[in-house]
Amino acid sequence: MDTTIFDKHGILLRRDAIDLGFDDDWLARMRRAGLIVRLRHGAYASADVWETADRARRHDLTSRAVMQQYDDRVALSHQSNLIRIGGPDWGLDLTTVHVTNLFGRGDRTKAGITHHRGECRAGDLTRIDGHWALTPGRAAVETALLASRDPAVAVLDWVMNVGLATPAELHDLVDRILLEWPGSVDLPHKLGLANGRRESVGETRTGLFLDDHKFTGAEPQWKVFRPDGRLAGVADFALHRERVMIEFDGKIKYGRLLKPGQRIEDVIMAERARERLLEELTGYLIFRIIWADLERPQATAERLRQFIAASALRRAG
C-alpha cells in the first residue's frame, strides 16, 4: 500500500482520500484487507501504525484526526491535550477526545468527542501542530478535575516536574476553576498533595501510599553524596527518622536509564550496585516497592512496618 497517502502520523482523512481520487468503496476494501483502521467518522489510520501504538498513542492519533476535522473554534484540552504534550496516561479515561469550544458551545459528548465550555483567556491558549490547544498547566488542572485522586496527583506532579507549569500558576488556575466549574471542590486537595519532585507515576503513587499509611516526612529525591562531595545517587524517598530509603522499581524506570547497547539486565545490576553504595554511605536500608505492591497497600504497609522494626533491631545489635 502506498504510504504517501497518509500524513506523517499515519492518518488519512476521507476528504483527503477523495481529493486523491479514491472513493468510499476503496476505503471499505482497505479496511476489509486490514490495511487501514477507522479512527472515527471520516478518519482512518495506517494499520501498521495503529497496531504498534499503545493506549496513549492510539488516543493521540484519534485526537489528531479530530483536530484536523475541526477549525479554530475549538482547542484540544483536558487529557487529550495532556497526552499530546507527553503527560502520563495512567488511570485516565481516554474513551473520548476532549476539546474546549472557544465560542461558547459545549458540555456534551457526541461521536466520540467530549465538548467543554469554559472561559479561555489569552494566556490559556497555545498552538500545537497548527491547532489551538490549552496550555500545559491548564491541561493538567482540567485533567485532574476529571480524574480520581492518584491519577490527578500524578498529572500535577508531572507538569511541575518537567517544568511546564509552576506551583503558583497551578494554584491560580485552580482558584479560577473553583469559581467557574461545578464539581471542582476537591481540586485544591489534589493540588496540595502534589509537589513536583516525584519523577514518575510510580513515585507519585508511592508517595501517596506513604502518606496514606502514616509514614510521615518522606523526602522525595533525596541526594546522597560521597565523602569528597560527589553525588553518589538519589533515593526515591527517605524516611529519616526510621533511617530507611524507599525505592520504586518499575520497568519504565529502568528503561529511562537504558543506554545504547545496554540490556535491561545490565541496568538492573548497575542499579543494585548504586543502592548498595547508598546503604553503605548513609547507614539506611533500602525497601523496594513494585507496581503490584501498590495494588495491595495494606499488606505492603505492614511489610514496611516490619522492615522498619527489623532495621532498628539490626542497628541496635
Per-residue pLDDT band for 178 (boundaries 50, 70, 90) equals: confident
What average pLDDT does this structure show over 119-125?
84
Q: Out of 193, 225, 250, pick the residue that ends a domain.
A: 193
Sorted by sequence, the CB contacts under 8 Å of residue 161 that are 6+ apart come out as: 196, 197, 198, 199
pLDDT, residue 259, reads: 60
Please give the mean pLDDT across all residues of the chain: 91
Is there a single domain that holds both residue 268 and residue 159?
no
Using DSSP, state whether 46 is helix, strand or coil.
strand
User: Is 80 exceeded by the pLDDT of residue 261?
Assistant: no
Higher per-residue pLDDT: 139 or 253: 139
Is there a single domain that holds both residue 245 and residue 284?
yes
pLDDT, residue 185, reads: 85
pLDDT, residue 154, reads: 98
User: Is 60 exceeded by the pLDDT of residue 258?
Assistant: no
Per-residue pLDDT band for 315 (boundaries 50, 70, 90) equals: confident
What average pLDDT does this structure show over 126-141?
95
The 10s digit of each residue's pLDDT in 206-231 is 999 999 999 999 999 999 999 999 99
Per-residue pLDDT band for 123 (boundaries 50, 70, 90) equals: confident
Is there a single domain that holds both residue 216 and residue 243?
yes
**What nine digits make up the cell of 73?**
473554534
Per-residue pLDDT band for 248 (boundaries 50, 70, 90) equals: very high
Is there a single domain that holds both residue 8 and residue 32?
yes
Is there a single domain that holds both residue 150 and residue 231?
no
User: Is 70 exceeded by the pLDDT of residue 106?
Assistant: no
Is there a single domain that holds both residue 218 and residue 294?
yes
What average pLDDT does this structure show over 108-121?
87
What string of DSSP letters covers 61-117? HHHHHHHHHS-TTEEE-HHHHHHHTT---TT---SSEEEEETTS---EEETTEEEEE
User: Is 80 exceeded by the pLDDT of residue 303?
Assistant: yes
Q: Out of 177, 193, 209, pick the residue that ends a domain.
A: 193
- Percent of the chain scored above 70 by pLDDT? 91
Is there a single domain that holds both residue 122 and residue 231?
no
Strands (E), the chain: 11-13, 36-40, 43-46, 74-76, 97-101, 108-110, 113-117, 125-128, 131-134, 219-225, 231-239, 244-249, 285-290
Domains in the chain: how many in total?
Answer: 3
Per-residue pLDDT band for 260 (boundaries 50, 70, 90) equals: low
Is there a single domain that holds both residue 235 and residue 176?
no
- Percent of the chain scored above 90 by pLDDT? 78
Per-residue pLDDT band for 5 (boundaries 50, 70, 90) equals: very high
Is there a single domain that holds both residue 137 and residue 262?
no
Is there a single domain that holds both residue 308 and residue 219?
yes
Is there a single domain that holds both residue 111 and residue 237?
no
User: Is 70 exceeded by the pLDDT of residue 251?
Assistant: no
Higher per-residue pLDDT: 18 or 264: 18
User: Is 90 exceeded by the pLDDT of residue 52?
Assistant: yes
User: Is 90 exceeded by the pLDDT of residue 128?
Assistant: yes
Q: What is the CATH number of the domain that holds 311?
A: 3.40.960.10
Domain that holds residue 44: 3-51
Q: Out of 176, 193, 210, pick the residue that ends a domain.
A: 193
Is there a single domain that holds both residue 242 and residue 259?
yes
